[in-house]
Chains A and B, each alone.
Chain A
């Protein structure tokens, strides 16, 4: 799929459709947008993501022409449009509140923009019908906005803003008023319409899942600044800051101090991991011990006399003898094998830990964590290892992984398709580990209060500078 990836932002030949050049917007003393520079390309589905009040709507309003930048310039197709009034811009906006004209029918709402620039009744009618078909509203053309449902209103607003075939469509939290199921459907509809019309979309949202679903690129904002602009994958897998990592999805943040990894094969490293070029290390005698510690103590079993006593004397009083700890049947070999395929067992990666990177001391008495992808420039600094829960494996026995930590299961959140284990480390820190429930009873051998091992590969996490 390398031949036609849509990535105009990586192509120096491409001219951006929109350029923000050092744009600052102040309301009185309050700086809503702070020295922001950003390029958006044609046919992009660009998402502005950030908490409430970070300036997303203000950016949209500057693009639409309702606010002028205090400093800097906004360019559309290379032309400065700072002070062009909204009715003279080839930009249309779908408002957060939809802003449908209550006194006009659905048909007249959609025709409103077309009538402003053309007198040709037939052309207008044809375009309105086309928009009604695109948004599946033909049946409702004669109704007034208050006579249709929320989802239909949303589609009228979309049809109205698309009718003039703008170069750029701005959508301010377009799906905020819809319930979850309708929202998900509409997200796909939006993507479909965007593809069909080839319009550049800029969407504002505070819902990170929505941004990840629809967008070709996401800009994560914080207090009037853009923290990171990248594809959803990069934002998720390689956030450039703790803020972004924490804002997008679920993440474990492990704080510690980084240092460069010793280049030589680390035979003396507390975790005796085979390094790529190292001779096979001696059997893990010392490291294997803690693993046995974690096995639950064998229950004291009664001797023959005890069994006889119980069976003859105590059964009438106490009932049948408890045959042993209650537990689900151990997974069959098949289930174990199936699970090994689906859950990424770190063991398979243990042999090929890449050289270089960082190691992170996160607790005095624990082996440092290895982050082979860590930026060596961070050596000596306070860092945070950001680790997605689904990249953390969980097992009862000590896994053969680049990084392993011991802890106790405090909580299990069963979400149907996945389960999240909340594991407390000895220092009190909580780590979340997530497994997909691909088999009905897989992983049920781990339960509350169990001592478990958490493991992840040398490249599973992202090392970020700790700015807090």
Chain B
């Protein structure tokens, strides 16, 4: 391996510092004994205990998880369907309009997405609550899923689906039994992306939420306006831990399948 030049070492240090310093400080202060966030008074885990006794935070966390699971699941189904249509159906009337609409939320400012959804819900008289947040998150996460899935579908060999049809499968069976298993990794990463997007969305959620449906980001944001408490540091640390574990697991799984497959392929070549 090449040795690090000074330039590389500096870039790496700066990169890590900018990315992780704030988080490291936050994690350290979550174990602070003192009530004052900025004064270190010794190590303690008491704020974690406080956090788990705080019903408001727990409720908000539960709402957030419900919203994230539901909306990312809906978004994955809809986004995968949209990607399939866009990539495979060739040219049809209104294709450009459809693809434009799907990708619009990607470039639209969140404030506008949130506001327009709010106006829609008011317009059709939908009472705001968890359900409207789920709908809103589905709408904007779906376009991310469809981007991820369609980039996989572009390199998907169309003749596989045709072969399934040729062997007597209905179009739905061909998709379910052939296409879906093959593109599954892309669909799963689309789901994970939608899940994290929903987990940390503040703007759209605050436009579309209603009484009894306060998500964690909304709760944290309003709590911080009254002053940062060590409880919030503790909460953030837990979220960082969850996300880290998730990301590391996902990358380990995909790496291991890639390695196994490469090994199998080599074995096949040798046996020829």
Contact = CB atoms under 8 A, between A and B. Distances in A.
B16 to A, nearest CB: 39
Interface in B140-181: 157, 159-160, 162-171, 173, 177-178, 181
Contacts of B200: none
A97 B159 contact: yes
Contacts of B169: 87, 112, 116
Interface in A51-86: 64-66, 85-86
Interface stretch (B45-53, B216-224, B248-256, B263-271): B263-271
Contacts of A116: 167-169, 173
B163 A87 contact: no
Contacts of B167: 87, 92, 112-113, 116, 160-161, 164
B163 A95 contact: yes
B165 A86 contact: yes
A185 interface: no
Nearest to A86: B165
B contact residues, range: 20 to 34
A101 B160 contact: yes
A177 interface: no
A87 B268 contact: no
Nearest to B267: A147
A87 B170 contact: yes
Given A86-B165, A86-B166, A116-B169, A149 B271 contact: yes
B170 A99 contact: no
A87 B261 CA distance: 32
Contacts of A326: none
Contacts of B166: 64-65, 86-87, 91-93, 161
A86 B168 CA distance: 7
Contacts, number: 75
Interface string B231-272: 000000000000000000000000000000100110110011
A383 B229 CA distance: 100
A164 B168 contact: yes
A96 B265 CA distance: 21
Nearest to B163: A99
Given A116-B173, A146-B261, A149-B268, A87 B165 contact: yes
A122 interface: no
B264 A146 contact: yes
A127 B107 CA distance: 54
Contacts of B173: 116
A65 B162 CA distance: 10
B165 A102 contact: no
B72 to A, nearest CB: 24
Contacts of B112: none
Nearest to B159: A99
B142 to A, nearest CB: 26
B126 interface: no
B168 A101 contact: no
A147 B268 contact: yes
Contact of B264 (A91, A96, A147, A161): A147
Contacts of A99: 157, 159-160, 162-163
A324 B266 CA distance: 64
Contacts of B104: none
Nearest to B270: A149
Contacts of A293: none
A331 B60 CA distance: 105
Nearest to A144: B264
Contacts of B170: 87
B36 interface: no
B182 interface: yes
A113 B272 contact: no
B165 A85 contact: yes
Given A66-B162, A99-B163, A147-B267, A87 B157 contact: no
A117 interface: yes
Contact of A103 (B157, B165, B181, B267): B181
A261 B178 CA distance: 68
Contacts of A64: 162, 166
Of the candidates B157, B168, B169, B171, the one having the most CB atoms from chain A within 10 angstroms of its own CB is: B168
Contacts of B160: 99, 101-102
A95 B159 contact: yes
Interface string A111-129: 0110011000000000000
26 contacts: A65-B165, A66-B162, A66-B165, A85-B165, A87-B166, A87-B167, A91-B166, A92-B166, A93-B163, A96-B159, A97-B159, A99-B159, A100-B163, A101-B163, A101-B164, A102-B182, A112-B164, A112-B167, A116-B167, A116-B169, A116-B173, A146-B261, A146-B264, A147-B268, A149-B272, A164-B167
Rank and list the top 4 A-B pairs by shortest CB-CB distance, nearest first. Answer: A113-B167, A116-B168, A149-B272, A99-B163
